[in-house]
Amino acid sequence: MAAPRSLADDLRQRDDAAMGRLLRRRPDLLHPVPPDFTALTARATAGPSISRCLDALDTMRLHVLHTAAELTVESPAGATEIVMVAGGDLPPEARGDLEAALVDLRDLALLWGAPTALRAVHPVRDLVASAPTPTWPRPGPGDGEHREMRDVDGQAALHAREALALVRDLLDDWSIHPPAILRSGGLSLRDFAAARGRLHTDWARTALTIEIAQAARLFTDDNDESPHWVPTDHYDAWIAKEPAEQWIDLVQAWLALPRLPSLADEKTQVLSADRDRRAVPVLRRDILGLLAGLPEGVSLSQEHILAVLDDHQPRRAGDLRRLAVAATLQEGADLGLLGAGALSAAARMILDVDVTTASAQRAQAHRIATCLAEALPIDVDHVLIQADLTIVAPGPLVASAARNLRLLADVESRGHATVYRISESSIRRAMDAGWDADTIHDLLRDLSRTPVPQPLTYLVDDVARRHGAVRVGGALAYIRSDNAEALSAILGDRRLRTLGLQRIAESVVVSQAPTSELLTALRGAGYAPAAESPDGVVVIRRPEDRRTRAPRSSPVTTRRLPEDTLVAAAVRTLRAGDKASGRRISTVEGPASRVDLPSLTSAAILTSLRGALTDNRPLWIGYADTDGTIAQQIVDPIRLSGGVLTAFDHRTDSVRSFTVARVTGIADLMADESP
């Protein structure tokens, strides 16, 4: 075989297996499928394509490519010479890695030519001018710290349960008191601080909870005139799922999140699009992929991970990667993917990129649920009520009990045992949601393993007696009460002077402040007002009443390997285009262009196409052109999506797209027919 005179000649001389490797490793060359090797060469040597390819190369390959580019500026160089020059500053034992790198670079079409006369493609010379020299021995996973998987899974499962609880607590609170949206978007610092106080955690964990809840479409902008962050209808569906499915939703949202929430502090504006970095999901996947390649129970330090990644993909090194490593380890631990720095068994399952079909996802969710159930302690359905009006949950509560208790009491501290505190304001919050004194007494008796303290019973009855005695409506707002003395006390209260109160009747006072502001001020002054509708009915504000429609989920772009059928069809297209040598192939005549095709319904056509895709077999199809002419041809189906069939067309020897609605008939090939 003659030595290739160009990269196009080199690609023509490669066998189908070598071409398949190139197209799989550089999938950008496939879309759209180039018509011939000349077009493929032009695309493979374009600057953006070369740059994407270089981003995935390690220091050894970049070093060899830089050496080859320098040696072949004027004339080609042999493989032996390139390896010898590249290994000048490296020990002899590095020669094997250098030779493997050279072969790999030729596979990627960054080098071309015969082994004795290789050249680097021209665009790489500028792009690899600053390639780093590899260190030897090269950084590797090495011997990390090993822990028992039982301990790893146990610690990770506890963090996963806590992450779910924090999301529920946050959105249950925002169902009643939704925070306002800034004009520039995002959450105000005051509301961020308020959320941190209610969750009883640090700034980083609060930011992570808020960011992943939004990424999972659990709350969004309600699009009102004065917009607020409001839970969505998707949150109600999420809360009804099993804990494992809830956790999977949060983790998948986090994997695609283009921000690093754990870097937040008290001055960070969360939910702001200004903090988006498109490279973050890719860096996060790289870090988790490195951890997934380690033996079970093995963890690596942040410095070790950074050194390995900088060697594997040096062109992506920098401050953002350093921050991403620190943030991924922290956020992964907070979400329950990592336990003691090692990936949990459930995390390894959810990172499985081969899970794509619905049945595989259901099986995955079942395996994760089983894994989490084995690692987690059993949920408890009881609490201990103490005389100081605190409630101690001696373990993770069942979901229904946790939500009821969260409405009735405020979380005071978290840990292996969660401590709640009941107060007048928390009881009033439950009554605002439609509860009465009997409902609260029954709940406390059912939940508590200890007798309900008498002071707590008195407190509930006292708040219930006063709740609604004073009512607030819109005038801007008014206050109505059958107790004239209560209204007199309100009018004389100095703390309420700014509300513009004026008595218009024995039982009615109006205010210049809006209803929401009036309610807040009265409660802050120690009164217990109830909101009232225009028809005089007490307004019940249940947490689930404040909802908005969830935004449509955006498809997550991930770099998947192209299908084998598409690669094979692309190689056939390249061979056919090269063979044509510029001849115009007829688009009317084709292999056996006359056959009787039965007319089929749309459902039958789709069923036949799916069957051909599953069996990887060619078909006869009748296809209506734009002028109404029906052409009959043989195709090899590749992909069926969105009402469009992608297939190799034997009339034109190319990969084409066919609109399924214009397919008039389908038939299988006879045994003596060949494409």
| pLDDT computed for residue 229 by the predictor | 93
Q: Which two tokens stand for residue 670?
A: 């006879």
Sign of CA dihedral 484, 489, 492, 494: negative
Distance CA 66, CA 49 (A): 17
Distance CA 264, CA 283 (A): 19
Determine whether 453 is exposed, middle or buried from the number of CB atoms within 10 Å of its CB (0-12, 13-18, 19+). Answer: middle
> Coil, helix or strand for 440?
helix
Determine whether 573 is exposed, middle or buried from the number of CB atoms within 10 Å of its CB (0-12, 13-18, 19+). Answer: buried
Q: What region, left, alpha or beta, does residue 186 occupy, with left being phi > 0 and alpha being psi -120 to 50 degrees?
A: left
Q: Which two tokens stand for residue 110?
A: 């960054």
Q: Which residue has the tokens 């009317």?
A: 588
Is the pTM here over 0.85, yes or no?
A: no
Determine whether 267 is exposed, middle or buried from the number of CB atoms within 10 Å of its CB (0-12, 13-18, 19+). Answer: exposed
Decide if 546 contacts 178 (C-beta within 8 A): yes
Domain spans of the chain, in order of start: 7-127, 145-375, 384-465, 471-537, 584-668
Main-chain phi, psi angles of 528, to 5 degrees: -130, 70
Decide if 308 contacts 140 (C-beta within 8 A): yes
| pLDDT computed for residue 324 by the predictor | 95
**125-180: pLDDT as tens digits:** 888 888 888 888 888 777 778 889 989 998 998 899 899 989 998 998 898 889 99
Between residues 580 and 71, the one the model is more confident about: 71
Distance CA 120, CA 132 (A): 18
As a CATH number, domain 584-668 is: 2.30.30
DSSP class per residue in 330-393: HHHHHHTSEETTEE-HHHHHHT-TT--SHHHHHHHHHHHHHHHHHHSPPPB--BEE-TTSEEEE
**43-93: pLDDT as tens digits:** 999 889 999 999 999 999 999 999 999 999 888 999 999 999 999 888 999
**378-403: pLDDT as tens digits:** 778 889 999 899 999 888 888 788 88
Q: Which residue has the tokens 């071409």?
A: 19
Which uninterrupted H or E stretch holds 506?
none
**431-471: pLDDT as tens digits:** 888 889 999 999 999 999 999 999 999 999 999 888 887 77
